[in-house]
Structure 1
Amino acid sequence: MSNIHDDQIESWLKKLERESWQLELLVSAFTIFLLIGANSAFDEFIVQVQYEYNFSGSALAIIFIFLILIQKSILALTISLIIHLMLRGFWIGAIGLRSVQSSIDFGKLNYNEFFTDRLKKKVISLDRMVIMLDEICSVIFAFSFLLISILIAFGMYLSFVGVFGVAFSAIINTLPAGGLQNFAIILIVILFLFLLLIGVIYMIDYFSLGFFKKIRWFSKFYYPFYRLLNFITLSGLSRSIYYYLISKFSKKRIRFVYGIVGVIVFAMMLFSFDQYQYFPDGTNPYTISADVYDDQRPDDQYINTISINSNFIDQPHFQVFLRYDPSDNILIKANCPEFQPLKDDGLNWKLRIESDGPNFHITGRDYSDEDFSKLLECHQSIYQIQVNDSIYTNLKFHFYTHPHKKQKGLLTTIPTSEFLNGENKLIVKKISIDSVGARNPIDYAQAVFWYNQY
């Protein structure tokens, strides 16, 4: 019975191998369709996360790196599957051609004997081409998902190292200053360096196709850490594909492919093609950016720093919106050290528990007793607003959620009576306080506009 069962499995697997191309085509086409939509949605999500959260903290920086790696994984998978789909279509075309004519009749070509002999040696038969293309397509299909697992594994490792660092930093901060804290710092630094070391060894072993697994005395020591990193990086999910590929193909070819991919990646990182030789990149005092004008900003673009109604003003007042960046919390705290923030930086309880003798009441967070006037003063204290050479010190500000992308910030209006008839420049600076208490204005944003006085 066991032999019959094994034969059935073997027969089923062979049938699956013969018909797997149909599944590959279906999965590739459907996945490409989904990935193209997912890629644009994920791009927008990453931009949204950048504008709504402050990534200067180490924990959030780890999350952002992980999101970027997922984004690159989606792009890499899309490109790989498009290549696979094109080659599989070529394979189907070769099969269709073979049904018409299975071999090349060199006699009908009536070529010179010299050319005929060399073509017979160099031109492969359709049968061999079909088999070769089928194998290449299947390998590319498997490699596409292996590539994703590599990027995700790298992200998981970075996340683990980052969480390790954040968690132990929090523990160190709870310890009293002195010998115990110093000992904990030394111990954690040693553990952190060791974790980085085994990560580098694991990466070298992976891309060298098992260099450290071949060393007898080292392999036994390496195995427990290999298992640990397999668990951390979730590499066990793609381990079978990895070992299948490196055992089936020549390691020289695999290293050659690694080298080509590495050169392409580094070339894309280091070089760019640009023929605008006399046009500056980025912003400078002579640049006009459309994203500061409400009537010109694309619907899918966020407000980066400030926003005004339009680049043409003909009213007695015009509005200026100052985007609230969470990274400004440090500046606000420095300008108003006595003011307690309304919320914690990060996670906050949505509920409030109150006790009235033996009774408990659970309600939502209530901020009605807060000094919003003082909070507004703290916010506006970090800004200096000027138009041309005139600095405005008595502007009235309001908390405001901009209807475009629901971004939070401050809104103020500036009278246009002192504006020049023609081009004007709005300049916004942020005020930081140094160690001796001096206020230092730093250039933050600018917007050029034209005023037409009727």
Structure 2
Amino acid sequence: MAHQNEPSNKSPEQETPAWLIRVQEQSWEPEILVSGIVLYGLFQLPALLEQLQHFLSHFSFEVFSSGTADESMVAVLKVANVWLIGGFMVHLLLRSIWVALVGLSYVYKNGVDISRLKMGESYNRLIFKDAQYTRNIVRLEEICSTTFAVSFLLFMLLLGGCFFLGVVVALLAAWLYFFPDRAEQLTTLDPILGIIGGIYVLDFLTLGLLKRIPYFSKFYMPIYRVMSWLTLSPLYRKIYYGLVSNHAKWKSVLAILIFMSVTVLLYSGFRLESNPADALTLRLPDSAEQLMYPGNYSNWAGDKPSGLIQIPSDVIESNVLSVFVVHKSTYEDRYIKPSCSYDSRQDSIGHDTLVMDCLSRFYNLQLDGEPVEAEYLFTRKQKPYQVGLQTYLDITHLEKGLHNLELYFQIQEEGDSVRSQRAARVEFYKAPPSVQLPRLNSMLSPEPDMETQ
């Protein structure tokens, strides 16, 4: 009976609960449900992200409208969405093969009957390394579970990066709101964040190398704690370390480098909306003076109109040019209200009149380099939702040919000086009005008899 008193190899805390064993054995059920249901929503997500970027750019803080924070955050979320879609699609494909093998293992108990196929020995070794379905099913089960975990891990890594960027942008927005005159001091923040973020990313790429350096690890601890919370690391780091600790280091490093490389390429594509084929031939950069922006023209813009100015078409055949100037609420407190002494005039003039006066002062148009006296009306566009100023310019005096319309912001400087800053340039071709020919049936029909009418 002495053997009954021998200690067990596992402590009570290490014993696997029976319910967990059952969950592990049936994990394929929630995996398939989550992958299938979530995939449907993931395909709808890009359109919602476009709406999010539109809201941030037009109706949010200045740090989004005048900077690139909105584009960067949305691009990161789109890349995360792509990784999750790809991972879940691979998982569903592998699970489908797994289900097929499970069904066949019930029908054909002995697996593949190699003797009836009568193939050569070399083909048998190549194709049927393991003719039993059971071992194939177990191996595929491991691959499916790992694929599901990796998909979630990659998504959470990028979501954590987006969360970190969102926190930084929120702090910048708060600084600009409470200290609008100290915006220049924010330039010192970029290198500090770059160094901290670079150290954290280096630790990630090297599989926690910085945590193993004796003296540096103590210095790195507070940085790691803060960055862990800012990147949502507690939600996924056990998955990360579970994967890297159970595979060869070179495989883990190679997988991380592939993930980073593909992520950068996807991010550049979403962020810059660039086409890889542009690098193969002569192309002008987006900042080139000679480049026409399709979003400035309603007939070209589709669902991505400009956030600054829009005209109906690149070719204008009438003597009236319809112009819509997009208004962004983020400009109001810092630029528009100071330019028209909004606070001091609220009691002396009607609210509607004051608002239109302020907007008219801030947004200025120039046609072929000459200022334009425009009468604005406030309006709203529904798809996508934009608010702004609508005006109509008489272009009867313009000759046939290429002309340009420019939008300027009148920014109040210190004292009473005003700085005119060009925000957008729109090119259009003035064409003579098209001649409307009479319809053929009206030409062939007889003149009405006046006496019989």
User: What is the TM-score normalised by the length of structure 1?
Assistant: 0.71
Question: What runs of 5+ residues in structure 1 fail to find an aligned partner?
Answer: 176-184, 344-351, 355-365
* Residue-by-residue CA offset, 1:355-383 (whole Å, 9 max, x unaligned): xxxxxxxxxxx962864564355135x32
Residues 10-19 or 64-73, more deviating? 64-73
Call closer, same or farther: CA 1:108–1:41 in 2, change over 3 Å: same
Q: Which amino acid letter does the alignment assign opposite residue 246 of structure 2? A: K
Call closer, same or farther: CA 1:124–1:49 in 2, change over 3 Å: farther
Counterpart for residue 322 of structure 1: 325
Contact 2:57 2:70 in 1 (8 A): no
* Residue-by-residue CA offset, 1:94-121 (whole Å, 9 max, x unaligned): 223333444333333333445445555x
Equivalenced residue count is 411
Q: Which one of the candidate residues 73, 77, 86 is aligned to 2:80?
A: 73
Q: Which one of the candidate residues 387, 397, 404 is aligned to 1:418?
A: 397
Call closer, same or farther: CA 1:286–1:220 in 2, change over 3 Å: closer
Query: How many Å separate the matches in 2 of 1:219 and 1:284?
Result: 48
Report the CA distance between 1:415 and its aligned residue.
Answer: 2.9
Call closer, same or farther: CA 1:149–1:401 in 2, change over 3 Å: same
Q: Which one of the candidate residues 306, 309, 332 is aligned to 1:306?
A: 309
Query: How many Å separate the matches in 1 of 2:163 and 2:124?
Result: 56
Q: Which one of the candidate residues 144, 147, 157 is aligned to 1:140?
A: 147
Q: Which amino acid letter does the alignment assign opposite residue 375 of structure 1? A: C
Q: Secondary structure at the match of 2:397?
A: coil
Q: Secondary structure at the match of 1:103?
A: coil
Q: Which one of the candidate residues 374, 381, 386 is aligned to 1:407?
A: 386
Query: How many Å separate the matches in 1 of 2:228 and 2:84?
Result: 22
Q: Which amino acid letter does the alignment assign opposite residue 110 of structure 1? A: K
The 5 A counterparts of 1:383-402 are 383-386=365-368, 391=370, 393-402=372-381
Q: Which one of the candidate residues 193, 206, 215 is aligned to 2:204?
A: 206
Report the CA distance between 1:146 and its aligned residue.
Answer: 1.7
Counterpart for residue 105 of structure 1: 113
* Residue-by-residue CA offset, 1:151-192 (whole Å, 9 max, x unaligned): 2322333444555667678999999xxxxxxxxx9xx97x99
Report the CA distance between 1:406 and its aligned residue.
Answer: 4.1
Query: How many Å separate the matches in 2 of 1:100 and 1:165?
Result: 64
Question: What runs of 5+ residues in structure 2 fail to find an aligned partner?
Answer: 1-9, 436-453
* Residue-by-residue CA offset, 1:384-420 (whole Å, 9 max, x unaligned): 124xx9x564443333434553423332223353355
Query: How many Å separate the matches in 1 of 2:20 and 2:316?
Result: 73
Counterpart for residue 444 of structure 2: none
Q: Secondary structure at the match of 1:418?
A: coil
RMSD of aligned Cα (Å): 4.8
Q: Which amino acid letter does the alignment assign opposite residue 149 of structure 1? A: M
* Residue-by-residue CA offset, 1:243-277 (whole Å, 9 max, x unaligned): 32233333332222213223333455499542895
Report the CA distance between 1:201 and its aligned residue.
Answer: 3.4
Call closer, same or farther: CA 1:47–1:115 in 2, change over 3 Å: same
Query: How many Å separate the matches in 2 of 1:296 and 1:214?
Result: 56
Call closer, same or farther: CA 1:257–1:434 in 2, change over 3 Å: same
Q: Which amino acid letter does the alignment assign opposite residue 339 of structure 1? A: C
Query: How many Å separate the matches in 2 of 1:118 and 1:401?
Result: 67
Call closer, same or farther: CA 1:235–1:329 in 2, change over 3 Å: same
* Residue-by-residue CA offset, 1:313-353 (whole Å, 9 max, x unaligned): 665534222223568779966xx97622469xxxxxxxx9x
Report the CA distance between 1:134 and its aligned residue.
Answer: 0.9
Q: Which amino acid letter does the alignment assign opposite residue 101 of structure 2? A: A
Query: How many Å separate the matches in 2 of 1:412 and 1:265?
Result: 44
Query: How many Å separate the matches in 1 of 2:13 and 2:359?
Result: 76
User: What is the TM-score normalised by the length of structure 2?
Assistant: 0.71
Query: How many Å separate the matches in 2 of 1:399 and 1:58?
Result: 20
Counterpart for residue 152 of structure 1: 159
Query: How many Å separate the matches in 2 of 1:310 and 1:257?
Result: 49
Counterpart for residue 347 of structure 1: none
Contact 2:53 2:70 in 1 (8 A): no
Query: How many Å separate the matches in 1 of 2:206 and 2:423?
Result: 50
The 5 A counterparts of 1:421-432 are 425-430=403-408
